[in-house]
Amino acid sequence: MYKIDKIDKEARRAKILKRIVEVILCIVIIPILLFNLILIFQSILYPNRIPEIFGYKVFVIVSKSMLPTIKVGDAIFIKEVPENELKVGDIISFRTDGYINTHRIKEITTDENGNKQYVTKGDNNKDEDRQRVRYSDIEGIYTFKLAGLGKIMNLLQNKVFLIFLAIIVICYLIYMHKLKLKKERRKELRKKYIIEK
């Protein structure tokens, strides 16, 4: 025989757990997965360009060169700007030796042909960067960061983590299906109990 109080408590707990999981899925995981999918599709469609969303490119910081302003694991958002808007003190992301660096402009000079060159330096580095940066090497100017988001983005690119996440989602769906069957069984028992009375 089922006790009504016990059934109600279990139903309330299940509802709370369901809400928590739904909130986590809606607020955190689904937007990040969609964000990563958009970036993946763009990188497939345009393999020679860095993917962007709403005009912003996203980079995950992997070095300590910009501490304390930008930390390892931060996701930074950069936006392309016209050359005449760049000034000393701006943080820029630029290509050098096949990598993307994000450093601060310390000085703007011109080469022998009159083209602008940017002297850059990481806030946490002792010395300026050896190579001068040309405008054509610049991916964009730093606009804002989301602290720690880069760690989550890197996790979502890890196959083992994705499999683990898929297992959790499948377990949740199985649990919700079993809960639904249990509720239907309870309804039938209640109807039977009412009819027998």
| Token pair belonging to 28 | 């955190």
> H helices of 30-130, where?
30-45
What is the arithmetic mean of pLDDT over 45-52?
84
d(CA 53, CA 65): 26
Residue 101 Cα distances to 7, 9, 98, 181, angstroms: 58, 55, 10, 55
pLDDT digits (tens, 9 = 90+) for 79-89: 999 999 999 99
What is the arithmetic mean of pLDDT over 67-78?
94
Instruction: Please say if the pLDDT value at position 77 is more than 90.
Output: yes
The answer to whether 53 and 38 have CB atoms below 8 angstroms apart is: yes
pLDDT digits (tens, 9 = 90+) for 99-142: 999 999 999 999 999 899 999 999 999 999 999 999 999 999 99
- Residues contacting residue 145 through CB under 8 Å, at least 6 positions apart: 70, 74, 75, 76, 77
CATH of span 52-152: 2.10.109.10
Instruction: Please say if the pLDDT value at position 98 is more than 50.
Output: yes
d(CA 127, CA 124): 9
Q: Where are the domains of the chain?
A: 4-42+158-196, 52-152
Is this model's pTM higher than 0.85 or not?
A: no
Instruction: Please say if the pLDDT value at position 3 is more than 70.
Output: no
d(CA 88, CA 76): 19
> Which of 48, 58, 33, 68 is closest to 165 using CA atoms?
33
What pLDDT does 183 receive? Answer: 82
Instruction: Please say if the pLDDT value at position 195 is more than 90.
Output: no
